[in-house]
Each structure stands twice: as structure tokens, then as C-alpha cells.
């Protein structure tokens, strides 16, 4: 499956904001581009090297 090109119309379009909330912690907030009221929020933290898959 090929990814759609940037700006292509479709239900997968979203607006997003990435913000640093603490050292080694970020928050990604996504809202659908069709202005519905639902938000999706992801908390992002790095995985220590000893816990990463080899």
C-alpha cells in the first residue's frame, strides 16, 4: 500500500501539534481536519537502549 501524497483529500488528514512537556517527554496532539471535536493525544518518551529490541 502506497502512502497518499501530502495534501491529498481523504479521511486520514489531520492537524497536529508536538510539544515538549518535560526533559525526554513530548506530547503529540492530533485533531481531524474535518473540525470534529475529537482529539487524539500521544505521550512520547524514548525507550532506554537496554530495553530496545535487538
- Is residue 34 in a domain? yes
- Is residue 53 in a domain? no
Distant-in-sequence, close-in-space partners of 28: CB < 8 Å, separation ≥ 6: 16, 17, 18, 41, 42, 44
- Is residue 6 in a domain? no
- Is residue 19 in a domain? yes
Tell me the whole-structure pTM to 2 decimals. Answer: 0.62
pLDDT digits (tens, 9 = 90+) for 8-46: 776 667 789 999 999 999 999 988 777 666 888 999 999
- Is residue 43 in a domain? yes
Q: What pLDDT sits at residue 21?
A: 94
- Is residue 30 in a domain? yes
CA distance 15 to 37: 12
Q: Provide the residue range defining the domain that includes 27.
A: 14-47
Domain count, the chain: 1
Q: What pLDDT sits at residue 10?
A: 65
Amino acid at each position: 500500500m502506497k502512502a497518499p501524497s501530502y495534501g491529498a483529500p481523504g479521511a486520514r488528514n489531520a492537524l497536529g501539534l508536538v510539544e515538549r512537556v518535560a526533559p525526554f517527554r513530548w506530547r503529540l496532539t492530533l485533531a481531524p481536519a474535518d473540525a470534529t471535536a475529537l482529539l487524539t493525544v500521544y505521550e512520547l518518551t524514548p525507550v532506554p537502549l537496554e530495553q530496545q529490541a535487538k
